[in-house]
């Protein structure tokens, strides 16, 4: 079960897990994109899900008979304003999607992950959840919260047959992440990746997720930080 599977990392992860032999439920709001994906890839089923709506999460959970792997991927950033100029509504949306969205879906599916006897919960956080940067305020806060929730879950589930994995990517050039961050401004979105030799692709992250999920049941990859070679740290990006 992959949330936010209509684009980027979520879509690549759904494709990759299907190729690994999983029956994948690909969920997001844009059903047309999911239906296309499901029609193209055997082993993928589309489901409509808005992680900010408890009603939608409940209806979605009721439609599943089992869940062995949950990838909480739906999320993203809005804006790059300094804290002093931040829009409270943007921060609320980021918190609602990245943090509370993951909470709603996790709460709904945890009994099934435990019941599977070898559940895996993957949380897509970010290096933004580990290191803060100017303009990152609302996204940093949301991703730090998601990282904390993941750590707490691992502690609380110790002894249960569920692995709790955090995958924290650095710069990934996906189709929509920066476009959403800059509210549809193509040029601003393109500048994020300008001159960077080889930002990560969605497939690179899907490969990392797949590796974590397919380790033996007793092996828990706590946190996997993955960056492009050109990004040694948040403030250290090589551009040509």
| Dihedrals phi, psi of 140, to nearest 5 degrees | -55, -45
Q: Which stretch binds ligand NAP (CB under 6 A): 4-12, 14-22, 38-46, 158-166?
A: 4-12
Binding mask 167-196 for ligand NAP (x = CB under 6 A): --x-xx-xxxx--x----------------
Q: Which stretch binds ligand NAP (CB under 6 A): 14-22, 26-34, 207-215, 217-225?
A: 26-34
Residue 133 catalytic? no
H or E stretch at 116: none
Binding mask 88-107 for ligand NAP (x = CB under 6 A): ---------xx--x------
Residue 3 contacts ligand NAP per CB under 6 A: yes
Residue 36 contacts ligand NAP per CB under 6 A: no
Structure tokens that stand for 136 in this block:
């990152």
Which residues, listed in sequence order, are joined to residue 72 by a DSSP beta bridge? 123
**Closest to 188 (Cα-Cα) out of 175, 198, 196, 178:** 178
Q: Are 110 and 69 in contact (CB under 8 A)?
A: no
Q: Are 206 and 172 in contact (CB under 8 A)?
A: no
**Closest to 82 (Cα-Cα) out of 132, 141, 134:** 134
Q: Which stretch binds ligand NAP (CB under 6 A): 23-31, 82-90, 208-216, 229-237?
A: 23-31
Residue 47 contacts ligand NAP per CB under 6 A: no
- What residues are annotated to the active site? 139
């Amino acid at each position: 079960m992959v949330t936010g599977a209509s684009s980027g990392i979520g879509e690549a992860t759904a494709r990759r897990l299907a190729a690994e032999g999983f029956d994948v439920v690909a969920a997001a709001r844009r059903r047309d994109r999911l239906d296309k994906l499901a029609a193209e890839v055997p082993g993928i089923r589309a489901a409509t899900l808005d992680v900010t709506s408890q009603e939608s999460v409940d209806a979605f959970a009721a439609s599943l008979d089992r869940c062995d792997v949950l990838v909480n991927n739906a999320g993203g950033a809005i804006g790059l304003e300094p804290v002093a100029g931040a829009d409270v509504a943007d921060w609320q949306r980021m918190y609602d999607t990245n943090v509370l969205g993951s909470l709603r879906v996790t709460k709904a599916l945890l009994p099934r992950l435990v019941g599977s006897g070898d559940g895996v919960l993957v949380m897509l956080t970010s290096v933004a959840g580990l290191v803060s940067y100017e303009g990152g305020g609302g996204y940093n806060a949301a991703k730090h919260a998601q990282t904390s929730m993941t750590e707490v879950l691992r502690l609380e589930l110790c002894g249960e047959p569920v692995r709790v994995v955090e995958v924290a990517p650095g710069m990934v050039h996906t189709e929509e992440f920066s476009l959403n961050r800059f509210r549809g401004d193509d040029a601003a979105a393109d500048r994020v990746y300008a001159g960077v030799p080889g930002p990560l692709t969605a497939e690179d992250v899907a490969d990392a997720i797949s590796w974590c999920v397919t380790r033996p049941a007793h092996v828990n990859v706590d946190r996997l930080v993955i960056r492009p070679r050109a990004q040694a740290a948040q403030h250290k990006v090589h551009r040509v």
